[in-house]
Amino acid sequence: MPSNERQAANELTPLSPAFFHILLSLGEGERHGYALKREISRRTNGKLTLGPGMLYGSINKMLALGLIEESGDRPDAHLDDERRRYYRITNYGRKVAQAEAARMRELAQLATATFGLPKHA
């Protein structure tokens, strides 16, 4: 359920790693919960593995904030279990992800200016 009074995109930043990774994964297309989890785990080399409670807790909160929405389309009906739910990113979610990326870029630039880049970066 999208939030009625949507806050400006940068007011939600910094996002939690879980939120940001979910947005990133959904940026590539619609996914169900389990696929999201596997994608995030792969992306972070297993460093961020979301358990079902934390995953759906995050999804629940992101739905309430209007960052993502449930998708009615079911990609492959004959392979699908009707209990699965599919999610996609909203326009607002995209803006928040952009704002978070911009924030991270600024932070990375500041860090580079201060410490330089590692030799084997």
Partner 1 sequence: MPSTPFSLKLYRFLLKLYPAGFHDDYAGPMEREFRDELAESSGPFALAKLWVRLLSDLALSLPLQFSRELWQDARHTLRLWAKRPGQTGFAIVALAIGIGANTGIFSVVNALLLRSLPFHDPSRLASLGAFFPPHGSAKEFHEWRQQQRAYLADVALIEQFDVNLGAVQNPVRAHLSYTSWNFFAVLGTQPVLGRWFRDGEDAPGKHAVAVISYGLWQQFFADDRRVLGSTLRVNGTPLTVVGVAPAGFNYPNNSNLWYAANYSPGNNGWQTIARLQSGITWSQARAAFAVEADRLWPRRDELGNSEHYPRMISLQDELAGPVKNASLMLMAGVVLILLIACCNVANLLLARTADRATELSIRSALGASRARITQQLMTECLLLSFAASIAGLLVALWTTSLATKVQPAPLSTQSYSILDGRVLGFAIALAIASSVVFGALPSLYAGRIHAFSARGASSTRGARLIRESLVAAQVMLTIILLTASVSVGRAFVSLMKTDRGFATKGLVTVSVSLDGTTRGVVGHQLPFFEEVLDRIRRLPGVRSASETEFLPLDATGFVGGSFGIDGRAAKHNSTMVPVLSDYFKTMGGGILYGREFTDAEVRSDAQVVVVNERFAKEFGSAADALEHEVTIGKSTPRKIIGVVTGMDYMTGTMDTAHSNQIFIPAHSPGGFVSTFVARVDGRAEDSLPVIRDTIRAVDTQVPVFGVKTMEQRMAEAVARPKFYRTAILLFAGFALFLAVIGIYSVVSYAVALRTHEMGVRLALGATPVELRGTLVRQGLLTVATGAIFGIAGTIFSGRFLESLVEGAKSVDLTTLIFSIVLIALVASASIWAGTRRIARLDILEILRIE
List contacts with partner 1 (CB under 8 A): 32-34, 37, 49, 51-54, 56-57, 59-61, 81, 83-85
> What minimum distance in Å lies between the beta carbon of 57 and partner 1?
5
Question: Which of 31/99 has CB closer to partner 1?
Answer: 31
Question: Which of 83/119 has CB closer to partner 1?
Answer: 83
Amino acid at 96: V
> What minimum distance in Å lies between the beta carbon of 36 and partner 1?
10
Question: Which of 80/106 has CB closer to partner 1?
Answer: 80
> What minimum distance in Å lies between the beta carbon of 40 and partner 1?
14
